[in-house]
Amino acid sequence: MNYEINEKRETGRISPMIYGHFIEHFHRQIYGGIFDPESPLSDEDGFRTDIIEAMREIRVPVLRWPGGCFVSSYHWRDGVGQQRQPSFDKAWRVEDPNTFGTDEFVKLCRKIGCEPYICTNAGTGTAEEMSDWVEYCNLEREGKYAKMRIANGFQSPHRVKYWSIGNENYGAWEIGAKSADEWGRLTAESAKMMKHVDPDIELSAAALADINWNVNLLHSCGQYLDWISIHQYWDMMPEVHDPADYDACMAYTADIGRTVDEVRGILTAMRLEKRIKIAFDEWNLRSWHHPNVHTVRQGRTREDYILPRDKNDDNSTYTMADAVFAACFLNSMIKNCDIVGMANFAPILNTRGCIYSYGGGIVRRSTYYVFELFAKHMTGNAVDVWTDGGSETMEVRAKNGRTQSVAVIDVAAASHDGKLSISLVNKHRTKSKTVTLRVPGVRGRAVMYTVNGKSADSYNDVGRDEIKITERVVGDVDGAVTVTADAHSVNVITIER
């Protein structure tokens, strides 16, 4: 197979924020995860230093919080100050101690070195409550909420730039779900008040690839928005924990970019594509498992609805299928970087995260190494890639039992800092593939970085490191380079001149 890569044909600037992440008050993501004051591995503020260091290593650029479904019944004032009281989280049906709130979140982001991105309560919350949150975070000293922050020990504003109005408020599962008309009105009033407090914030609002929803939202609120937020999980398992096998996961790669295409079309039709970008601010191959919560029938016992959440942390679930899918997703975001400016892997820690924590340390799951490669090498300007001989396809069985045809190879390219980096994914379960990459006018030394394990079903766990990054020198390049991509592998070839 041959691929043409012309670095003079730049298609857009890759925002580092497409390698963003997300964390929510769900199960062990925050309490007993990143925030664990009782752990000997935590610092003086209660944060796990090993987790923070792992986040730094993958250069987390932006972190979205506090939800997720959690936020639609969360009142931020419960989580600030000295006199905090626990509250009942109506989304996940557990008690939240409120010991981790806005100030702790911002402090965490500063430790990581990333931008905080706050999602507001547009379920049971109000436009005023959302704008008061901006006041608490961003005003110097005007108003009672800025003074409240100062009294809480934070003299300087937190300067939170990125804000989202709501989370999946289009869905019946969400507390405070809205109709399209209701949503347009609420977002307009919320955005107006939030930008009256701080005109420099950048605002997103919950959306999906739906014409009626988005037209109402954009007609009502488009003048205030900088972003439009979309979410997607492919391997859906909220009620039944039945992870798709490798081939079924590859079937999902056939339509990764469809949601972006549909939302792009709506923005373009409304002539907003130059002003509003897409924030794909919640995504993962596999949905979270949380039975008997988002249904009419509610679980009555811990065995019904709490303990099953532990299945999310079965590390054997996260194989090379997850890594290959994640790389294909990121390739798609690179190819759409003219319209996609942010993406947030959901979540970063535990549940379906790329990092798993336990009392004695952490495990870097397969997807962790994909982010390590992409955040380091796939930066700068996206470069056009095409094939002159057609793409090889393979037939795989989807989770629904149907046969799906998918491309075997997925390629994206980026030009940065005098280098040309090429992401090359081989989806085939058992066969390696030899690919010639034509790079006219490019001379230099090529190094190939590979994420892989011995089999497509390899995974990492406590005391088990099957998946890692390997590095090898390919050799000198003069206008072309031929490489062999192992089966079920994620590769980045970097040519340094």
Looking at 158-273, list the stretches that DSSP marks H as alpha helix, in order from N- to C-terminal side.
180-197, 211-221, 246-252, 258-269
Q: Which of 24, 104, 115, 168 is catalytic?
A: 168
- 415: β partners: 381, 420
Distance of CA 60 to the CA centre of its chain: 10
Q: Is it true that the peptide bond before 347 is cis, omega within 30 degrees of 0?
A: yes
Residue 431 has phi, psi (to 5 degrees) of -115, 130
Side by side, which strands form the sheet with 277-286? 202-205, 162-165, 115-120, 62-65, 20-22, 340-345, 277-286, 227-235
Active site residue 168: yes
- From CA 28, how far away is CA 34, in angstroms rounded? 8
E strands in 259-316? 277-286
- Contacts of residue 43, Cβ cutoff 8 Å, sequence gap at least 6: 49
Residue 92, CA distances (Å) to 67, 72, 306, 374 in order: 11, 11, 9, 33
Q: Which of 24, 135, 174, 282 is catalytic?
A: 282
Residue 331 has phi, psi (to 5 degrees) of -60, -40
Q: What is the DSSP string of 366-400?
A: HHHHHHHHHHHHS-SEEEEEEESS---EEEEE-TT
Question: Considering all CA atoms of the chain, what is the largest pairwise distance in Å, rounded to the nearest integer?
Answer: 67
Residue 178, CA distances (Å) to 118, 187, 228, 290 in order: 20, 11, 17, 22
Active site residues: 168, 282
